[in-house]
Chain A
Amino acid sequence: MDQSPTPPAGTPRTILIDPVTRIEGHAKITIHLDASGSVAAARFHVTEFRGFEAFCAGRPFTEMPALTARICGICPVSHLLASAKAGDQLLAVTIPPAAERLRRLMNLAQIIQSHALSFFHLSSPDFLLGWDCDPARRNVFGLIAADPELARGGIRLRQFGQTVIERLGGRKIHPAWAVAGGVRTPLAAADRDAIRAGLPEAFATTRAALALFKHLLDGPLAAEAAVFGDFPSLFMALVGEGGAWEHYGGRLRLIDGDGTPLGGDLPADGLGAGPFDALLAEAVEPWTYLKFPYYKPLGPEAGSYRVGPLARLNVCDHIGTTGADSELLELRQRGGRVVTSSFHYHLARLIEILAALEAIEALLDDPALGDSHVRARAHLNAFEAVGVSEAPRGTLFHHYRVDGDGLIEAVNLVIATGQNNRAMNRTITQIARHHIQAGPSAGAEGGAETALPEIAEALLNRVEAGIRCFDPCLSCSTHAAGEMPLHVQLLGPGGELLRERWRS
């Protein structure tokens, strides 16, 4: 059981991984060793910041969906929806039924494309090519060479999601489509049929990936689940009617490590500024641009929680579609009613792709989906709102306050990835402690200097892979092929550089 990293003052050695690769953003990892060469702590440093909360001040709230979409090219739809939902409340309108269904359809498509990217393009090289594979090949292009059919399936699955977004919003990335009051355009019958025609292949790819990954979990990856961030924590996600899996509306629920709900569920739409401020606070650490949100009543440590695919599957009672529910049952047989190993984020992601495909299939049969009335119009009727939606990586909040002209006076964005910040730090600390011990360690390639514990590149890749479990989107959270060199610095107790070694 790890404690979260505490400031490792005066620890004599630091291992730096810079940059962390095959994640969506800019980050570094430092591993701090104590005098005996054991791991004292590992830290995840996010190294970018853009300042949306400052420069959005003064903009009209109607501009916010398209502007905040530019927080992130991976999940622009999440910001589009959270921002438009805040806008719905500023207009004080109920959006037309077709608009809600169309927004849901786009969000489901985004979950599919984003999860496919995470699993196939970014993470599967670790599982399929091996932790120890040559770093120059351990990437999507190496996957194309080693398993062209799997790579093609993953590429086409992501394409399916992106194409649905394009059919709805006119472009794959940054569509200016969801607006305060609904969406700009209805769905044409021809587009509905084209989406339907793509489903069988998407289902087949997803089921094959599930079968393959579960086979790996029962074999070569069995050991990883125990050390890849396995610890109890709170989980937060939206839930729908009767506790069903939810990604767009419904109610906001937090559960503790036993699955017991904390406090009462809050409505996702119309979550007022008061309840929102009472719910969450954000802590700052000087060594990263990524803040640490927590559940306010329990404080920064006990109140740290996880969001995203695994949280949504832990928080819901059931999914509500046949195939995904059967996978959910199997996940709980594997990991318990509340699954605590962060490694299972990968499996949860695949299950959610299946859930999203089944939900799309059901939506396409809904006659209300094709209705042409998709936008409610009104003037400004409220001055403060919180828009909530589930991004692929977890719950997303856009909190706006506007003046009488609808210009933004204050904006606070609480981003999915940030809410996993504490958990990511705990995860890499756990992996580093497991794999890096004082003295010669497993996986060493010889040639060690006696003063340094031997650290193979593959072990450092596992530490990075601990981050990849969470599929962090650092674009969002900071609205803020050759050889991988390893830079190990030996620092004295006063921080002076004693020795430095580069290994490539």
Chain B
Amino acid sequence: MKLRLATVWLTGCSGCHMSFLDLDEWLIELAALVEVVFSPIASDVKTYPEHVDVALVEGGVGTSDNLALIRQVRQHTRVLVAFGDCAITSNVPGLRNSHPGADTVLERAYLQLSDSSGCLPQAPGIVPELLEQVLPVQAVVPVDVYLPGCPPPAARIRAVLEALLRGETPVMEGAELIRFG
């Protein structure tokens, strides 16, 4: 019975996903042990499936789409891993939290730094709205495992996945496993 693995990308830079790909040839071994049931980089599945064993969640919760997806992920996932510093602290995307609301940030990009066509993007149902603050994942749903790093190095990701594949809860301690940045 293969472990059902998902990777999720919220408001982040994809560096954590790239670090996952830095597992390099161990990915070939991993392919024999897991079924990737949802992933922006390794699957064409469009809807978050049911009965997911492990989800690696990269990024903070910054848009209405992020919010809807993370709730689905929590509902259908046994072990939710906050994957990287943005998921754990909101990190760099959270730097916008010091601004008075999302609109001031949008105005800079779409009104001040544009030609005369400038307007704030708005297309209900298509373009998600920004939340006022970028939230860490645990501020929205419970998190089971914290996997820090900007991004976490591949060796750290592998240590966590190997523990989960053995059916254990990863013990996160020591500089190699809990370093931020």
Contacts and interface: CB of A to CB of B under 8 A. Distances in A.
Interface in B5-30: 9, 11-19, 21-22, 24-25, 27-28
B142 interface: no
A11 B109 CA distance: 30
Given A74-B18, A173-B22, 15 more contacts: A25-B40, A45-B123, A48-B62, A51-B105, A72-B14, A73-B18, A73-B19, A121-B41, A136-B44, A155-B25, A158-B24, A285-B117, A288-B127, A291-B114, A481-B36
A482 B96 contact: no
Given A18-B46, A122-B41, A287 B105 contact: no
Given A287-B126, A300-B117, A71 B44 contact: no
B117 A482 contact: no
A475 interface: yes
B31 A141 contact: yes
A85 interface: no
A28 B121 contact: no
Contacts of A480: 109
Contacts of B172: none
A376 interface: no
B150 interface: yes
Interface string A152-163: 100110110010
A459 interface: no
Interface of B: 9, 11-19, 21-22, 24-25, 27-28, 31, 35-47, 49, 62-63, 65, 91-93, 95-96, 98-99, 104-106, 108-110, 113-115, 117-123, 126-128, 130, 134, 150-151, 153-154
B11 A159 contact: no
8 contacts: A45-B127, A47-B128, A51-B99, A54-B105, A74-B15, A148-B28, A158-B24, A288-B127
The 8 closest A-B pairs by CB, nearest first: A73-B15, A51-B105, A135-B44, A55-B95, A54-B108, A481-B43, A54-B105, A287-B123
A300 B17 CA distance: 35
Given A158-B21, A481-B37, A73 B16 contact: yes
A122 B37 CA distance: 16
A140 interface: yes
Contact of A136 (B41, B45, B104, B123): B45
A345 B11 CA distance: 28
B13 A71 contact: yes
Interface stretch (A34-42, A276-284, A400-408): A276-284
B44 A287 contact: no
Given A45-B123, A55-B95, A480-B109, A139 B43 contact: yes
A284 B118 contact: yes
B45 A282 contact: no
B44 A139 contact: yes
Contacts of A173: 15, 18-19, 22, 151
Contacts of A17: 46
Contacts of A283: 114-115, 117
A156 B24 contact: yes
Contacts of A47: 63, 65, 126-128
Given A74-B14, A76-B15, A135-B44, A282 B65 contact: no
Contacts, number: 211
A412 B45 contact: no
B37 A482 contact: yes
A24 interface: yes
A144 interface: yes
Contacts of B99: 51, 54-55
A19 interface: yes
A196 interface: no
Given A22-B44, A485-B46, A70 B121 contact: no
Nearest to A25: B14
Contacts of B110: 284, 291
A281 B42 contact: no
Contacts of A412: 113
Contacts of A140: 27, 41-42
B96 A281 contact: no
Interface in A207-257: none
A117 B24 CA distance: 11
A145 B21 contact: no
A484 interface: yes
B25 A156 contact: yes
Contacts of A162: 22
Contact of B105 (A16, A55, A145, A285): A55
A436 B39 CA distance: 27
A291 B12 CA distance: 19
Contacts of B47: 485
Nearest to A70: B92
B112 to A, nearest CB: 9
A138 B44 contact: yes
Contacts of A54: 96, 99, 104-105, 108-109
Given A47-B65, A51-B105, A139 B42 contact: yes
A155 B113 contact: no
A55 B98 contact: yes
Given A55-B95, A289-B121, A482-B49, A73 B106 contact: no
Contacts of B43: 21, 136, 139, 481
Contacts of B14: 24-25, 72-74, 475
Given A50-B93, A162-B22, A483 B123 contact: no
A483 B50 CA distance: 13
Contacts of A28: 126
Nearest to B104: A54
Nearest to A30: B126
A145 B31 contact: yes
Contacts of A22: 40-42, 44
A21 B19 contact: no
B152 to A, nearest CB: 10
